[in-house]
Structure 1
Amino acid sequence: MDIVEFTPQPDEYAWTFGGAAPVRRIRPGTALKLWTEDAFCGSLRSTADLASASLTMPFVNPQTGPFHVEGAEPGDTLVLHFVELTPARSWGVSATIPFFGGLTSTDRTATLQDPLPERTWIYEVDTEKQTVGFQAQGSDFEVSLPMEPMLGTVGLAPAAGEVRSSLVPDTFGGNMDTPEMRVGATCFLNVNVEGALFSVGDGHYRQGEGESCGTAVEGAMNVVLIVDLLKTPGPAWPRIENDDYLAVVGSSRPLEDAWRAGQVDMVGWLGSLYGLDKLDAYQLLSQVSEVPLANVVDANYSVVTKVPKRLLPAADVYSGIHRHLRDLAATL
C-alpha cells in the first residue's frame, strides 16, 4: 500500500470545494497521513480572543487538499475510510459568533434582536483520559467530556465547474458537520470531475448533534485515511457505512428538505440492496430509521438518515469494501 504524508503550509490551504489545484496526485488504495488546521485557522487560542476581531472572512474552515485520484471519472464512487483521527493540539476551542448559530438572529433569520454576546471557550485535552474539559465562564462549573474526534468537512469538487465555500454542505459533501464522520466510518461520494479532487478538514474533538451554537470543540487534527475508487454509479448524496449502521447525509434548507433528501436516497439504497420496490423500501425505512441532526447552522442544514444493520439481513454493500478497508486499516 502506498502511504503519502502531507502537512499543508498556510498558503496551501483550500477554502473552497472546486476551483483549487490539487496538492498531490494519488492512486486508489493509497493511505494518507494528513494534518488539518482548525476552523478558526488557529487564531482563537485564549478566552480573550474573540471571533469578530480574529477571523477574516472567507478564510475560515481551511481544507487539506484537494487530492487528485488517478482514474476517477465523473459518475464513479469515491471511497474514503477513516483510520485515525487524533488531536494535534493539547486544547480545542469553541465560540459564539455574532449572527451565527441556531439560537440567535442570523442573516437568513432576521429579527430586531441584537446578536448574542461573543464568548470563547478553551477545552483542555486530557490524552490519558481521552477527555476534553468544559469550564463555564459565568460560574465555577466544570465537567470532563469524552473525546469523540470527527471531521466536519469531507467533500470533493462539485460538477459543472462550480466553486463552493468550505462552509457549505451539499451533494458533494462539504461542511456536513456530522459526528458520523469518525474513525471506522467509510464514506461514499459521487465523483463530479476528473480526479475527484477531494479535501478534508474542520476537525472536531467532539460535537453534539446539530452543532447548536455553530461551533464544536474545534481543533487541529492528525488524520489517517485510505482512499479507494469504485467504477459503480456514485450516490446522489454522501453515504456512510460503519460496523453498525448505513447512513445518508442530506443537506438543504429548509430543514425538512434536508431530511427528505436523505430519506429518498436511503429508500433507493434499501431498494437496491434488498430488491425492494419504492413503496416497500419506504415502508421499511419508516419503521427502522434513526434521524439525528448533523447541523442546523450552516449555509445548508444537514440531516442524517441512519439504518441499524442489526435490524436487517446482511447485505453486500458496495461489494463489501467497508469490511475490506477496515481490515486493511488494521495493518497500518
Structure 2
Amino acid sequence: MTTMGKITYRPARDELAYTFGARLPVAHVCSGDILEVFTEDCFGGLVRGPADLPSQVCRMPYLNPVSGPFFVEDAEPGDTLAIHIAAITPARDWGVSTTFPHFGALTSTAHTATLQPPLEERVWIYDVDRRAGTVRFHATASSHEVDLPLEPMIGTIGVAPGGFEARSTIVPDTHGGNLDTPELRPGTTLYLGVKMHGAMLALGDGHARQGQGEVCGVGVEIATTTTLAVELIKGVPTVWPRLETDTSVMAVGCVRPLEDAYRIAHHDLVGWTSSLTGLDALDAYQLISQAGRAPIGNVCDPNYTVLAAVDKTLLPAPGEAYGGAHHRLRQLTATAGQVAGY
C-alpha cells in the first residue's frame, strides 16, 4: 500500500445523503488515500436550543445525514475495505441530545407497541470543551451540571448494500450503517465487506460521547471534522462488520431481537479468532466465553447492534488480521498527522 494523496470534502447542505446506495459518488479515492471529511450532526444542524424540537424543525425522513459516498477505485464485491479513524474533531462548541415520542429503549415504539402515553419531546444542549476534553451536561428540571469525558465517535459509517439496494442511514446491517458504537473512535480500524462496485463509503452522525446502548436513542450529537484512511484488501470477504484496535479485535452483529445480534457477533468472533490463531473452534468458543466482552452499540435503531470483543494478549500468537492493515493504516495516518497537525 502506498499513500496516494489526501482528499478534503465538505458537503453543501443539498449534497448530504440519507441512504447507503442509490447515490452518485462525490469523489473517487484510492487505497492508501487519507480523507478529511466534514460531517453534520444527525439533525442536520437544525436543533440548536431547547426550543428547537426536532419534530418541528426537522423533516422526516431527512435525519441522520452522511457525507459521501466515496467511490473506492478497484473495489469489487468479495473485497474488504479497511477504514482507519485517525481523528474526530468536534466542529462546534456545543452538542445536542433529545428525547423523542415513540423512540428509544424505554418507551413505546412502533416495534414494541404499548398503550402508555409517549415520552415528552425535550432537548438538552451540551457544552463541548475541546481544550479541557469535557462535555458538560445541564439538567433541564434542576440546577445539576456535571462534566463528562469528551470521547468523540462516528455513529454511522458504511458502504453500499448489495443487490442495488438503498438502505436508510438510520439502519445498521452487514454493510455497516448506523452502528452507534462508542468503539468507532480514533485509533480504531473498521473492516467492511464490499458489496457493490466502488464500495461507496459514506459517514456521518458524530457523537461527542454516548453511553453503551444509546438508551434514549440519541447521543451527544455533534458536527465533526473526521480524518480517516482507507485500504482495499482484494479477494478477502467480510460478512459482518469487524473492528480492530491496538489491543482488541471485535465482531459486530446487527439485527433484532437483541439476543440474535449477540449471537451473530460472537459466532463471527469465534470463527475469526480460530482463523487468526489456529485454535480449535470449540477452544476459541470456550476462551471467548470466559474472557470476551460484549459492548452494546444501540437498542433503539431498526436493528440493534452488539459487539463481541477479546483482548489480543489473551490469544495464542495471533496472526495479523487482514495482513496487518490496522498497523499499516495507523502508521500512515500517524506520519501524515505529524505533517498536517491533526
TM-score range for the pair, normalised by the shorter chain length = over 0.9
State the 1:276 CA deviation. Answer: 2.7
Which amino acid letter does the alignment assign opposite residue 145 of structure 1?
L
2:39 equivalent in structure 1? 36
Establish whether residue 321 from structure 1 lines up as the match of residue 290 from structure 2. Answer: no
State the 1:281 CA deviation. Answer: 2.1
* Per-residue deviation, residues 133-192 of structure 1 (Å, max 9, x unmatched): 100011100001110000000100011111110000001100000001000000100000
Q: Using the alignment, how far apart are the partners of 1:104 and 1:322 within structure 2?
A: 39
Give the RMSD, CA atoms, in angstroms.
0.9
Q: Is the 8 A contact 1:105 1:111 kept in 2?
A: yes
1:92 equivalent in structure 2? 95
1:163 equivalent in structure 2? 166
Structure 2 gap ranges (5+): 337-342
* Per-residue deviation, residues 223-254 of structure 1 (Å, max 9, x unmatched): 10001100132221100000111001100000
Q: Using the alignment, how far apart are the partners of 1:256 and 1:107 within structure 2?
A: 19
Residue 64 (structure 1) aligned to one of 62, 67, 70: 67
State the 1:280 CA deviation. Answer: 2.3
1:278 equivalent in structure 2? 281
1:267 equivalent in structure 2? 270
2:248 equivalent in structure 1? 245
Which amino acid letter does the alignment assign opposite residue 45 of structure 1?
R
Residue 77 (structure 1) aligned to one of 80, 91, 94: 80
Which amino acid letter does the alignment assign opposite residue 334 of structure 2?
A
* Other structure's SS at 1:196 match: coil
Q: Is the 8 A contact 1:52 1:98 kept in 2?
A: no
1:256 equivalent in structure 2? 259
Residue 210 (structure 1) aligned to one of 203, 210, 213: 213
2:340 equivalent in structure 1? none
Percent identical pairs in the alignment equals 53
Q: Is the 8 A contact 1:188 1:234 kept in 2?
A: no
Structure 1 gap ranges (5+): none
1:46 equivalent in structure 2? 49
Q: Using the alignment, how far apart are the partners of 2:239 and 2:30 within structure 1?
A: 24
Residue 101 (structure 1) aligned to one of 100, 104, 111: 104
Q: Pairwise mapping of residues 86-165 of structure 1 onto structure 2 (< 5 A)?
A: 86-165=89-168
Q: Using the alignment, how far apart are the partners of 2:169 and 2:92 within structure 1?
A: 22
Which amino acid letter does the alignment assign opposite residue 43 of structure 2?
F
Q: Using the alignment, how far apart are the partners of 2:280 and 2:163 within structure 1?
A: 32
TM-score norm. by structure 1 comes to: 0.98
Q: Using the alignment, how far apart are the partners of 1:51 and 1:107 within structure 2?
A: 18
1:234 equivalent in structure 2? 237
